[in-house]
Structure formats: C-alpha cells, structure tokens
Structure 1
Amino acid sequence: MSLIRQIWLLLLGTLLLAFLGSFAVWMASSQGYLETQLRMKNADNAQALALNLSQQKGDATAMELAVMAMFDTGYYQRITLKDATGKVVFNTESDAGGQQSAVPVWFVNLMPVVSTPGVAQVSDGWRAVGAVEVVSHSAFAHAQLWEGALKTAGWLALLGGVSGVLATFGVRGIRQPLEATVGQAQALMERRFITVKEPRVPELARLSQAMNGVVLRLKTLFDEQATQVEMLRKQAHCDPLTGLSHRGHFMTQLASALEDDEGAGAGVLYFLRVSDLQGLNHTLGHMQTDALLQKLGLALKEASQASSGSSVGRLNGGDFAVCLRGVDALRAVTPEVYVAAWQEVLRSEGVDATFVLGGVTWKRSMSEPQVLAAADSALARAEARGPFSVELGDTEEVSAMVMGEDAWRVSLTEALSERRVRLVAFPVMDRGGKLVHQECPMRIQIERQGSYEVASTWLPMALRTALMSQIDELAVKLALESIARDQVPRGVNLSPASLLDSGFVPRLRALLLAAPKESRLLWLEVAESAAVERFELVRELCKQLRPLGARIGLEHAGERLTRIEFLFEAGLDYVKLDASVIQGVSRDAARAAFVQATVGMLHGLGLQVYAEGVSDAADMPVLFQLGLDGLTGPVVKL
C-alpha cells in the first residue's frame, strides 16, 4: 500500500473516530439530560396532583375526576392512585405508539429514554389517604433526541467535508514533493539525473537534499570524467600545436567517410599548404611561426562550421586538410572561403607569406589512395601556378547528384508508397559471441527493376526533399514486422532531420503501442550530432519511447560526447563509438587510452557501449579488453 494511501486511511480513520466519538458522547449526554428532565417533571407533577387530590377530602369521585382531567392533557403515559395500604384505587394508562410514529423504532430501541415515575403522598389533614404515581410519555423526549441527532449528524458531516477539503490540501502538500522525490529516484533508475526543489516538510526536505546531493556528486563525477576523456581525446586525435586532427586521425576520418554506407555519399577534400615554412621559421622565429599556424588552423575550423560533419586537420608542418561531407558542402563552403580566411589572417598579422590550395571531390566507394592522389595532384598544380593559386579536381560525378531535385522527390515518393525498400542486417556481437541485435540500415530501389541503393546514394536528396521522417517511419515499421516474424532484436538509425518533424515521435509511439511485444526488441539510434545540437529532441524521444520497451542510443559517437552537457540526463540506453574513434586501437596506445576512458565514463552513467565499423580483426580483442560491450563492422560475423 502506498504511503499516500496510508496517510489517507489514517486521516479518515482519525476523523471518523473523532466524529463518531463526539456523536456518541452527545447522544449519551442528551439521553441522560432528557431522562433527568422527565424524572424532575414527573416528581413535580406528582406533587401538584397530590396537593390537588388532598383538597378533595377523600372524595373518590372528585379525585378520579381530577386525575382524569390531568391525564387528558395527553402528556402522561400512566397515572396511578393507591390507597394507604398500597391497593390501586384506579389506574389510567395510554399507549405512546401513535405519538412516537415520527421516530424510527430502531432508534427508540437503540436509545431508550426511561421515564422514572414521580410519587407523592395524598392526605386528608393528618390522615394519609394514599399515594399517586405520575409517569410522563417518553415519546416527546425521543422526538427531541431524534431531531437533535439529525442536526448533530448534519453538522458533523459538514465539518467532515470541510476537514476532508483541508486534508486534501494537506496531503497534496505532502504528495507533490514526495512524487517529485519518487520521480527523481525513478529517473536515477533510468539513468537520468535530475534535481528537485526541496519541500518545506522537514523530513521530505532531508530526503530531497540527500537525493540532490547524490545527483550533484554524480554530475561532478561525470564532469571530471568528461574533462579527463576530452584531454585523452586531444592526446589521441589532435595536433598539439593547433588542436586540429593530426594526420593519423584525419586519415581515419577520411577513410570512414569513404566507407560509410549511411553517410552523405559525397564531399570534397581540400589540401592547403603554407609556402616556404622553413623560410618563415628563419624570418619570424619558431614561436611567431607557431602562433601563425595556430591562427591559420583556427581560421580553417571557423570557416568549416557552415558545413556539418566537416573534418579539419594539420597533416604536417604547413600542410592542412579539410574534408567536407555532403553535396551541400560544395555550395556552403567554397575554396574562396578558405582563401579569404587565410588571407585575412596573413593581413592582420602583417606576415609576408603565401599559400596554395588544391581540392578534389569524392564519392563513396572511392579508395582512400585514389582520393589522396587526386588531391595531391591538384595541390601540385596549384604550386606550379604560383602563390595563392587554387586548383580543383573533376566534380562532374558529384555535381550530377545535386541536379533533378523534383525527379528525386518523385522517385523516392513512389518507392516509399510501393514499399520498394528493404532492411539489410549487420550483426552486433557481444564478447561471448552472442547476438546483441541486428543493425538494419535501409536500402531503397530508386528505379523499378533496379538495384537497392545504399543510403549514401539517396540520403542527400531525401534530406533536401524533406522525406527523411517518412523513410525512418517506414524503416521502423519494417523492423517491427521482421521482429514479429523471428523475434530477433533489430536496430534502426533515425535521422536528426526526422526529429525536427513534430509529428514524427508521436507516430513512432503509435507504432510501438500497436506492437508491444516487438517494441521490447527494437533498438533506435540517432547520431551524436543530434544530441549535441538538438538535445531536447533526443531527450523527448527517450521520454516517449523508452517506457514502451524500445532502447534508445547514439551512433557515430566519440568526437563530441564530452560536449553533450546533460548527457547524464538524456535517458539513453547505449552509445556506439564511431569507426574513426576505435580504428587502430591495437597499434595506438593513446587512442586505446581514450577509448578506455570513454567507455569507463559511459559505463559510469549506466550506458552500454558498442563499437561500429570494426574493420581490423586485430582490434577486436583489444576493444573487448578496453571494456566495450559489443562490436559491429566488416570483420564481425554472426
């Protein structure tokens, strides 16, 4: 039984006991008072009648007439006249039933009012004539007692109602902080860490203080771990001078972009080189040259912010690189943007230095050496042309993707309506070789009788035509249908763009409510970028769908986890570390230390941690040693 129900029962029991006790005491005292009144009345009336009879000088007829005259008033139940020897001279008596008809019989039996006879001596001078007994009707006392009982019960009921209203407000004052504390405890069980306002009730205030203290300590611990993880990330991934990705990590990011089936599918790679870096060192000195390189790197990073998913790195010396993902990046960040940014740095620093830029567009499935060779070639042509030259590789293949938006919309809409879609399955395995769930990306048949295309082919156009929420909704339907057939857990990734559709989450909730058993085997994940940029939407997704049994997680995570300020409040179930984060842990101690610290931080929040895109078999045992709960990727087999 809940505490609130116990409080209510205690209040009701106390009020009921108090009211019933008050009513019983009133009834008993009223009964005694009425009996006393009847006794005194009988005694007084007997004395008055005896005085009247004494004046009759023993005349029996006159005395009888006097008695009958008094009896006929209707207030008496019995009047008896006895002679000096105790013999009844005459007796007159009536039934009180007709007079007490307004009072229920059960009340009369329950609360009897005893009418004690009044006795007085009748005399003729000094001679005793006899005695008279007078008994008044108790029906009138019962009527008065019944009427008083009704009024008293009514007033007590009114007072009970008022007490109930006051008790409701009092219990509500206890319930609200208690429910807040219970909600806080439930949130802790769901790995959400929230603080509540301390109530005015001292006992509950101490409880809330303790719970808030736990939450704040956990938050402090998370902040400390996040700081440590961020430091290890910089050591493992970043160039110590500029803070940009170092060569090894940048190449890993580029390889991940080229292999990503669910990524943008295309992009551009820029190489920028500061000319004659050695000469600048002699002219400016190492410290000033390092400061210049830092500002050039910062300028590249700021200029790339217009493109989501950009990677900026320092390859070595004065060589920098930028990888932009998505065909929209070709329009959002042009080479002229970077040229202008660097020229502004050189002008503001008053440095007489030059640079060149070479770039090449790429698409998914191109090999890393092919892209790097094309970019190096473009950079070499730029150097041959002279300072501040810009050379770009062929962009025809990529440019074709940005054409025909209306045709893409029609093709995708038809494919969705005809359900020319399918989910493919990639296993996520735990350390014991057991299947955790099937990772199920979407494939769409753009042209009838054509092949089913990976997301990198149609994803850019789906985003531009605002069809992603429909695609993701259909993917969830297919996953639930597949689970219903074989009861195998399946995971579906949701686009951050879908979360921006206000009706998307309610539609998913309706799907899950319609399939409660299958929902418990459904895994839904969104990109790390969504939690960074749209944290409230991700938290609402968790709030709406996790109670229905679905598990919610982040994918492509690792680079910006420590920037999710309220990660401990999101209510997530798991995190999948991006391939660019975990690749090469068997050969790179700094990278392994970062992964281990990240896993420890996430485990501390009660989250499961998986690695995605594992392509090197040598990394698998190391990843499990670092604490990961499961792996997926090309080398992970069912």
Structure 2
Amino acid sequence: MSLLKQLLLSVTLVVAGILAGTLFVSLDTARQYLNNELQAQSRNAASTLALLMSQPGNQDRATRELLVTALFDSGQFEQIVFTPTAENDVFRLELDRASQPKAVPDWFSGLVTLNAKAQVREVTDGWQRIGTISVMADDQYALQSLWNSVFRLLFIVIGVGVVWALFAIILVRWFRRALKREITTQLEAISTTGQPAAILSESSESHFSELHDVSDAIGQARERIKATQAELDSRIESLELELNRDPVTGLANRKYFVNDLRRRMEKQARGAAVEGHILLFRQRDLAAINRALSRVQVDEWLKTVGERVLAAVKQFPDIPCVLARLNGSDFVLLMLTPSSLDAIRLAQHVRKTLTQLQVTLREGGVSRWAYALIDAGQYGDVSTVLSALDHALMRAESSGHKDIEYVAQPMQVLESKAAPSESEWSELIGHALEHDGLVLSYTHRLYHNELGEIKRYEALLILLDQSREGTAIPGFLFMPAAQRLGYSSQCDLKAIQLALTWLTDNPEELVLRVSLASLLHGKFTPTVVDLLHAAPANVVSRLCLEVDAFALVSGSAEVQAFCRDVVACGVKVGLRNLGNQPEALIYLHQAPFSYLKIGGDFVAGVLGSPGSQNLLGAVIQTARKLKISVLADDVPDQGTANLLMRQGIYLERSEQDAKPESNV
C-alpha cells in the first residue's frame, strides 16, 4: 500500500473515530439534558394544573375539564389524564401519533430514546382529596432537536475530514517530489550497472536537513557495494555452478537436493522451524523399460514423468516442494509441510499421476513404482534421512503392494544409529547366516469360539548383531534388506530349520511366516521339501507355514505349487491378511489352506461398514465350503467380537492368555 493511501486511511479512521466519539458524547449529553427538561416541564405543568383545579371556584366538572383542555391545547404535552376519586369517569386527552407526521425516522427514535415519564399530582377540595392529575410532556420536539444537531455535527466533521484529505494529498505529492530529487537519483545511480566510477563516488549535499542522515547512509552503502561487488560476482558464479540440473528431465540433480536438504537441516538444528516430509519413488523396472523402448523414447518418458509430477505438485499451492532426480530410477520430492495428512494427500496424488504413466513391458505386465515417505523433521542430519528413505523403500519393495510405505517415526534399527546402508545390511545378514546369528522368537497364541480353542505358537525371525552384544533386529526390519540383497530364501530356510528343531523339543504347534521373495525363488520349494522329508512325521505335522494374501495374488502359480508340495509332506499352510487383499478369494480353492487370518483395518471397520460385512460373509461362505477355519486378530471392541463369534470365527484372547516366550 502506498504512503498516500496509508495516510488517507489513517486520516479516515481518525475522522471516523472523532465523529463517532463526538456524536456519542453529544447525543448522550443532549439526551440527558432533554430528559431532565421534559421531566421538569411535566412536573411543573402537573403542579400548576393541580393547584388550579384545587381552587374552590374550580370544583365543578366542566371547569376542571376546561382547565385540562386549555393546557393540552398548548401542544407541548402528549397526554393529560384526570382521575376522580369518587367517580369512575376518567377524563383523558392524548395525542394521536398515527395521524401526525413523524418528526424523525423510526431507527433514530429507536436508537435515541427519551424517558418522558408522566408526572402525577393530587387535586384537593380543601383538605379532601378529590382525584389525581397525570401530565406527560411530548418528546417529539426534543427528538427533532437531537436530529438536527446530529446533522450539523456530521457535516462539520466530514467537511474538516475532506479538507484534511486534500491537504494530505498535496503534502504527500510534494514529499514524493522531494524524495525523488534528493534520494532516488542517488539510488538509481547505485543500482544501475555499467555506471562510471566517478558517478558512484559522487555525493551530493541534501537541501533538507531532515534528509542529511539518509544521504550519509546512501554514501556508506555505496562504499560497501564497491568493496563487495567483486566478491558477490564470484559467489554468484560459484552458486550457478552448483545449481546443476539433471540433463534428461531438467529437474534438480542429487547434488542440489542434498545441499538444499543439508541447509534446511542446519537451520532446523539452529532452532528455525524447518520441517517437512520426503517422498522417494523408484521405477523398479527401468531396465525392462530400456529394453521395451528406444533411448530417445525413454528420455522423453522420464522428462514427461518430471513434468507430470511438477504439474501435480502445483495443484497444492499451500505446500512448497522441491522435486529432484537422484539417479536413473530414483526421484525424490521434498514437501515443506509439518502436517502428515497434507504430505500423504500430496503423495497419494503423485502416486495416482505416476500410475497413469506406466509402460507396457515386453515380458508382459506394466512397469511398477515403489514409494517411501518419511517425516524429515524426525531426523538430525542428511545421511540419516537418506538411509531412512532407503530402508523405507526396501520395505515398500519387499511388501509387493502398490501403496506408499509411510514411516512416521525414526526406525532405530541399532541402538546408536539409523538404518544401515546396503553394504552394512549385507555384512550383517551374511555374518548372521554364517555364524548362527539368526534365531526365532516364540509367542503363544490362543484362539477360541463356541466350537473350541486353537492353541499354538507363532515364531518371528530375529537377527543378532554379534558385534553389539544384546542387539536384536526383528524380521520386519531386516527382511526388506534381505530381499533386496538376495538373502530372503536363505533366511526363510534358516527359520524353517530352527522351527523344526524347536518342534522336536516341544509338543505344541508352531506357525512360521514365509516371504513372497522366497516363494518366487526357483530352488526354495525343493529345498524346503527336502528339509521336511528329513524330519520326523510327528514334527512336520505340527508345523504351519503362513503366506501373505498378496503373495497368493501376485505369484499365484509359485505360491500354489509351494502350498501343495509342503502339504504333501504333512505341513499345514495358512493365509494371512485376507481382508486387505480380497482378490485372493478367487485363488483360495487352488491351494490346500488349513486356516485364513483376517485383522487390521478390515476387522476394525466391519461393524459399521455394510461393504465389509458383505465381504466378511463371502469369506466365511467360501471358507466353509472349503472346510477352512477363519481366525481374527486385533478385534477392537466387544460389539465386533460378538459379530465375528456369531459367524463362527476364532478370536484371539487377551494378552494374559498368550504369554510370549523366546529363546533369544
């Protein structure tokens, strides 16, 4: 806003304040004064009229009414009422407001009210009271006076305001000309490039004493600019060299993104409120895309990916973002928002955009993306952020789903550092496989319904970091890295060996999960069959291998073959997470499953969702036809438990009935 507009606005506000205050004070003072005058007028008129009517010669009715009429005809009173004591005939005279023109508008009379109360006096005949006289003055003349005074005061204040506004306009215009003459010329000489040194070194004396300090400051700034101009040119040149762009997509490259992230993390360490979320998305089939398309087509496709993601980001103008290409298949999006909901909303929009850019591959199917999202504000340095992103991406790749793997809290895999790099993971897992660093943790589970109970133990694979005594890494943290590095099948085989050993010493049933990457490995199933044939039949019969419903959908042929082969050896097979992957129902009859397991969001929302109840009915109906038991975990409340129990589903009992045990 310009200085003139600010001055005019301030003057307008001042004038409005003065007007409002003056009107309020004046109206209130005048109203109080007129109220007192009306009360006094009514009081004097009532006293005079009562005195006249009390005279001995004015005691007949006609004379009393004549006196009242004479006073009312003066036009100064709104109402006069004479009330005799002994008679019921009340003599009343009052103005008809409906037939008279209004002196002031209704809104003004409603806003400014006058309390013209009636004054009452007694009328006597000697010492005997014969009645009362009530007189109320007319307030219309007072309201008319207030209305006129308001208009006069309003016109005076507005006139003064208009005069002051014109004076302010003239004053500001004169001040602008003085500033342009005294200061602008010098500033333009400093800011203009290619000026001779003589012009930059000139200093002119100001014609106004008020501007001497400003002229001195401009001179000092001129000297500082001359001294630092060469240094600034050098720094600008170095910054331009650092701001490299990816040659294919035109996006920021890895160096720029890392430097920018480091600067923001340093500001956060100094106390600045720099928080954000980072989305890393990788094209898992870039090599297959290179085989399906020419190099020029791949470059155009990558450029289109960058353009489409930038267009998707622009639809969220409230979230500042930085998009970069880290390497051939990895892209990263920094979202400067502390809100996880906003970050997830934007990330889902990016995922939807990338889904539309999938490429059909020669081998069949379409290209796949993997997504990892973390809260960067939870980490202290850039290396920790990058390692956490990489670990989250490994989890996304190993899970096999197309959703975004969101990690809200830092994953403290080891005690003193964040997720290890690929080389560190390779060393940890390889050392554990060679030196018995993999063990199983056992948890007792108890499921029940009206038909009976199912008692068993569930095993979780644990990696022991032997370089740090007592450090145990659970399978859900290290198995994503094992699958990327090709150790998945070896880890699952080791787990099966440990499970068979435990079953040899314990009479209970044991459930062990098997990953999709292992099931897709060509030599995994034959090796497992050999292990089962070498074990006693009474041991194998108590082992249950559990696969994910997503594995049954995405690798149906391999998973079905695995299930049939191990069941032929005497092992039971279970299916978990069916509620999150309902497509697995169409493959359910093609593998000999002993039980199905549902839980998570599907069970939590089944009570209030008709769609979930219909899906639950389909699951139960299919399971009954195939003679498969249905188990439910994480039941949120008793209402849901009652609904599931009526359907014949086995529910997990409380933690008091399932005490964890471990050989770690």
Fold conserved (TM > 0.5)?
no
Superposition TM-score tier, normalisation by shorter sequence: 0.3 to 0.5
TM, length-normalised to structure 2: 0.38
The structure whose RCO (Cα within 8 Å, separation 6+) is larger is 1
TM, length-normalised to structure 1: 0.40
